[in-house]
């Protein structure tokens, strides 16, 4: 009788859906299940999730992946968790009941707290400690907002009755039925509460924000045996949880961008460009984020990151809001059909501009329209806006790191758009290499869980799994490239001027 096969499971808890994926010894995906959940918009600019609905969706996709693959839970050697970062949950320690909805990373409802910190002169204080800019994007202002908003929450938190966690923490806590209150270094470094030098929660920041340390989870490396699920979540079996990582760092690891200078760009709802910078942090002078890439065997790998708030969601806007196309996939054909001379610029700042501008007041704008402008032209300009924003970040990374980036590894749903990828190469003047399997976030978490469980012995074994997709090289001459990019820079400048005028 042949020996029963074993596998690694990844739980990928994203912004709009939860997925479970099962991976075999060769790094191939053998089963996957996905389920969307409700997006809650209580007020303009606010985005929330129901933590219990997220948990229900996670349980559903776990069961779905087992059923889809005909796999028994006893065959799983380890579970990896990857997650939408910064999204914040506060819940009761005794009951597990959230005291408020999860505040999502995209939400601007805590901008007032962020602005007051900046006005009080704390910008450099936070940057030196956390490597981040002060922004509503990060978890710290969200925790403060919940403690202020919910009656009695501050007092209960100080008594140790409430717990804080990002979604990785929430999922691990639920899987273990409260035995595990943990987060990993990559997620901790996105809270605006974590010190990059001491690798611990920062007491001065906690005191400034009046956030009790007793609320915070234990910080653990990205691979290791943290504890086990309760058997009733896995059909009578306890399964070790052996890997955790934030989604964008997960994609960096899934692309096996393990050497300093390697860069990946994930094109999802937003776009996230992450650069491996090795074992010392670089504190950006140009508004990028210094963060932890991953921690293995007590060795810390740091990263630089540029976060773009609107990428794939701009195409969804064309489809759902403007009804310019029926399916997001149609955008490629429409862009290729356009015959204009790239004189239209769309700045999709629907929720402000991210890196390197960090202008939360900016809103979407369009420049260069004429009577001859067609839907095809508008769709093409929207796709180009994604590539222009990525160039903003890549150029800034080269300035901060003093490293010449020659190759950009790409993944995410919009990376399948050949027009976008070709224009990305054109406007960067660099080679673009698409991952053979675009599920790099979930794969990164699977690789870490496999290392933590001893399923794979080392990184060299993982490198044999890499599958590469299409490669794109620039077809634009330097003069035309810089002319187009200069137009983009003027469009962004005009967008910010309008935001400043409107705010006065």
Query: Which CATH number is 229's domain given?
Result: 3.30.420.40
The answer as to whether 154 is a domain residue is: yes
Whole domain around residue 44: which residue ranges? 7-238
- Is the pTM for the entire model greater than 0.85? yes
> Is 229 within any annotated ligand binding site?
no
> Is 15 within any annotated ligand binding site?
yes
Listed in sequence order, the residues at least 6 apart from 187 whose beta carbon sits closer than 8 Å to its beta carbon are: 83, 85, 166, 168, 169, 244, 245, 246
Look at residue 464 and give its three-state secondary structure.
Answer: coil
Chain Cα centroid distance, residue 447:
18
- Per-residue pLDDT of 462-471, as tens digits, reads 888 877 889 9
Within this chain, do residues 436 and 304 fall inside the same structural domain, yes or no? Answer: yes
- Per-residue pLDDT of 184-238, as tens digits, reads 999 999 999 999 999 999 999 999 999 999 999 999 999 999 999 987 777 788 8
> Is 402 within any annotated ligand binding site?
no
Domain count of the fold of the chain? 2
- 75, with CB counted inside 10 A (0-12, 13-18, 19+), is middle
The answer as to whether 218 is a domain residue is: yes
Average pLDDT score over residue span 387-406: 93
Within this chain, do residues 172 and 219 fall inside the same structural domain, yes or no? Answer: yes
- Tokens of residue 150, six digits: 């919910």
- Which of 238, 270, 286 is where one domain is finished? 238
Within this chain, do residues 269 and 233 fall inside the same structural domain, yes or no? Answer: no
The answer as to whether 113 is a domain residue is: yes
Percentage of the chain beyond pLDDT 90 is 72
Within this chain, do residues 396 and 293 fall inside the same structural domain, yes or no? Answer: yes
> Is 298 within any annotated ligand binding site?
no
Tell me the C-alpha distance between 407 and 381, whole Å.
Answer: 24
Tell me the C-alpha distance between 228 and 452, whole Å.
Answer: 13
Q: pLDDT averaged over the chain?
A: 92
- Per-residue pLDDT of 266-301, as tens digits, reads 998 889 999 999 998 889 888 899 999 999 988 999
Average pLDDT score over residue span 228-250: 88
> Which value, in Å, is the radius of gyration of the alpha carbons in the chain?
22
Within this chain, do residues 369 and 431 fall inside the same structural domain, yes or no? Answer: yes
In this prediction, residue 503 carries a pLDDT of 62
- Per-residue pLDDT of 27-76, as tens digits, reads 889 999 999 999 899 988 889 999 999 999 999 999 999 999 999 889 99
The answer as to whether 248 is a domain residue is: no
Within this chain, do residues 284 and 397 fall inside the same structural domain, yes or no? Answer: yes
> Is 454 within any annotated ligand binding site?
no
Question: Is 1 a residue whose pLDDT tops 60?
Answer: no
The answer as to whether 291 is a domain residue is: yes
- Tokens of residue 333, six digits: 């054909």
Within this chain, do residues 212 and 311 fall inside the same structural domain, yes or no? Answer: no
Within this chain, do residues 100 and 158 fall inside the same structural domain, yes or no? Answer: yes
- What are the distances in angstroms from CA 257 to CA 24, 131, 251, 291, 292? 21, 21, 9, 15, 14
Within this chain, do residues 468 and 373 fall inside the same structural domain, yes or no? Answer: yes
> Is 248 within any annotated ligand binding site?
yes
Within this chain, do residues 128 and 78 fall inside the same structural domain, yes or no? Answer: yes
- What are the distances in angstroms from CA 249 to CA 43, 83, 243, 276, 386? 31, 10, 13, 10, 20
The answer as to whether 246 is a domain residue is: no
**Sheet arrangement for strand 88-92:** 48-49, 102-103, 88-92, 162-166
> Is 280 within any annotated ligand binding site?
no
- Tokens of residue 82, six digits: 């990857």
Question: Is 96 a residue whose pLDDT tops 90?
Answer: yes
Residue 3 pLDDT class (50, 70, 90 cuts): low
> Is 337 within any annotated ligand binding site?
no
**Would you tell me how many other CB atoms lie within 10 Å of the CB of residue 473?**
11
Question: Is 258 a residue whose pLDDT tops 70?
Answer: yes
The answer as to whether 337 is a domain residue is: yes
Residue 502 pLDDT class (50, 70, 90 cuts): low
Residue 312 pLDDT class (50, 70, 90 cuts): confident
In this prediction, residue 504 carries a pLDDT of 58
The answer as to whether 247 is a domain residue is: no
- Per-residue pLDDT of 415-425, as tens digits, reads 999 999 999 99
Average pLDDT score over residue span 353-373: 89
> Is 359 within any annotated ligand binding site?
no
């Amino acid at each position: 009788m042949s020996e029963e096969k074993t596998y690694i499971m990844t739980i990928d808890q994203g912004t709009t859906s939860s997925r479970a994926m099962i991976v075999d010894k060769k790094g191939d995906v053998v089963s996957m299940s996905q389920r969307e959940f409700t997006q809650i918009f209580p007020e303009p600019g606010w985005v929330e999730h129901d933590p219990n609905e997220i948990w229900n969706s996670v349980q559903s996709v776990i069961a779905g992946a087992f059923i889809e693959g005909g796999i028994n839970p006893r065959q799983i050697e380890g579970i990896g968790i990857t997650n939408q970062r910064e999204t914040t949950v506060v819940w009761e320690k005794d009951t597990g009941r959230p005291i408020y909805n999860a505040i999502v990373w995209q939400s601007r409802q805590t901008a007032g707290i962020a602005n007051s910190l900046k006005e009080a002169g704390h910008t450099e204080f936070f940057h030196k400690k956390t490597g981040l800019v002060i922004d509503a994007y990060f978890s710290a202002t969200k925790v403060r907002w919940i403690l202020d908003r919910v009656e009695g929450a501050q007092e209960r938190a100080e008594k140790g009755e409430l717990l804080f966690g990002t979604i990785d923490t929430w999922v691990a806590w639920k899987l273990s039925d409260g035995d595990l209150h943990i987060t990993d270094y990559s997620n901790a470094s996105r809270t605006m509460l974590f010190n990059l030098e001491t690798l611990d929660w920062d007491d001065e920041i906690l005191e400034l924000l009046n956030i009790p340390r007793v609320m915070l989870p234990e910080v653990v490396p990205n691979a290791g045996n943290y504890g086990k699920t309760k058997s009733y979540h896995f059909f009578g079996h306890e399964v070790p949880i052996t890997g955790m990582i934030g989604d964008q760092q997960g994609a960096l690891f899934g692309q096996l961008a393990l050497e300093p200078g390697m860069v990946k760009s994930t094109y999802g709802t937003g776009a996230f460009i992450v650069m491996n910078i090795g074992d010392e942090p670089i504190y950006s002078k140009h508004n990028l984020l210094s963060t932890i890439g991953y921690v293995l065997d007590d060795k810390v790998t740091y990263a630089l990151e540029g976060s773009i708030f609107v990428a794939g969601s701009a195409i969804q806007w064309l489809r759902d809001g403007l009804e310019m196309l029926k399916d997001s996939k149609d955008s490629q054909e429409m862009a290729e059909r356009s015959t204009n001379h790239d004189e239209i610029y769309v700045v999709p700042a629907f929720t402000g501009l991210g890196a390197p501008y960090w202008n939360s007041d900016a809103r979407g704008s369009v420049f260069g329209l004429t009577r001859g402008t067609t839907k095809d032209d508008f769709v093409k300009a929207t796709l180009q806006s994604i590539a222009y924003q990525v160039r903003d970040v890549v150029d800034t990374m080269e300035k901060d790191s003093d490293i010449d980036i020659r190759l950009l590894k790409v993944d995410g749903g919009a990376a399948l758009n050949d027009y976008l990828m070709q224009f990305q190469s054109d406007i960067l003047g660099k080679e673009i290499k698409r991952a053979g399997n675009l599920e790099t976030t979930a794969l990164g978490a699977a690789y870490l869980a496999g290392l933590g469980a001893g399923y794979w012995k080392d990184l060299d074994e993982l490198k044999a799994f890499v599958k590469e997709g299409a490669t794109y090289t620039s077809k634009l001459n330097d003069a035309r490239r810089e002319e187009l990019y200069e137009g983009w820079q003027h469009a962004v400048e005009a967008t910010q001027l309008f935001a400043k005028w409107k705010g006065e």
